């Protein structure tokens, strides 16, 4: 499997309802191509988004995007490097953000802070933090 990134640009800010509708159409097209959504990063102005998928290759994701009529600018495969893979950097990040290194929870992450869910066709929930 490959990690595939997709860049999208929107002419108008995308609403949660619009994002959910796109996700629902795209998920079924990805499923038949053995692909799956992993995460998305939506710009604060809601005009740009980068999505990350697991799929056999970038062409599988492109085909799913085209089949679902989901507009996109470009797709590419990528190697993923994360701070969690580097203990010294992870500790530095936790200190910078005020996270308790043992629990990995920041004081700002309270049980009352509930993110807005964006659901997909499979019934799981996608979570967007603002």
Helix, strand, coil share of the chain (percent; to 5): 30, 30, 40
Question: What's the pLDDT at 110?
Answer: 37
Question: What's the pLDDT at 14?
Answer: 95
- Helices assigned H by DSSP within the chain: 16-31, 58-67, 87-97
Query: Which residues 6+ apart lie within 8 Å of 50 measured at CB?
Result: 5, 6, 7, 8, 40, 41
Question: What's the pLDDT at 101?
Answer: 55
Name the pairing type of β-strands 36-42 and 74-78.
unpaired
Q: Is 8 helix (H, G, I), strand (E, B) or coil?
A: strand
For the chain, give every domain's residue range.
2-81+117-128
Which CATH fold topology does 2-81+117-128 show? Answer: Alpha-Beta Plaits (3.30.70)
Residue 32: name the closest of 68, 75, 7, 69 by CA: 68
pLDDT tens, the chain, 130 aa long: 999 999 999 999 999 999 999 999 999 999 999 999 999 999 999 999 999 999 999 999 999 999 999 999 999 999 989 999 999 999 999 999 998 755 544 444 433 333 333 333 333 334 333 3
Q: Is 99 helix (H, G, I), strand (E, B) or coil?
A: coil
Counting beta carbons within 10 angstroms of the beta carbon of residue 35, is it exposed (0 to 12), middle (13 to 18) or buried (19 or more)? buried
């Amino acid at each position: 499997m490959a990690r595939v990134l997709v860049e999208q640009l929107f002419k108008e800010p995308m609403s949660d309802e619009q994002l959910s509708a796109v996700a629902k159409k795209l998920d079924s097209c990805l499923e038949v191509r053995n692909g799956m959504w992993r995460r998305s990063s939506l710009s604060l102005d809601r005009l740009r988004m980068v999505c990350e998928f697991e799929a056999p290759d970038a062409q599988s994701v492109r085909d799913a995007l085209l089949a679902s009529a989901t507009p996109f600018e470009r797709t590419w495969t990528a190697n993923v490097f994360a701070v969690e893979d580097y203990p010294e950097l992870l500790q530095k990040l936790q200190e910078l953000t005020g996270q308790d290194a043992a629990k990995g929870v920041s004081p700002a992450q309270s049980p009352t802070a509930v993110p807005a869910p964006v659901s997909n066709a499979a019934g799981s929930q996608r979570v967007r933090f603002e």
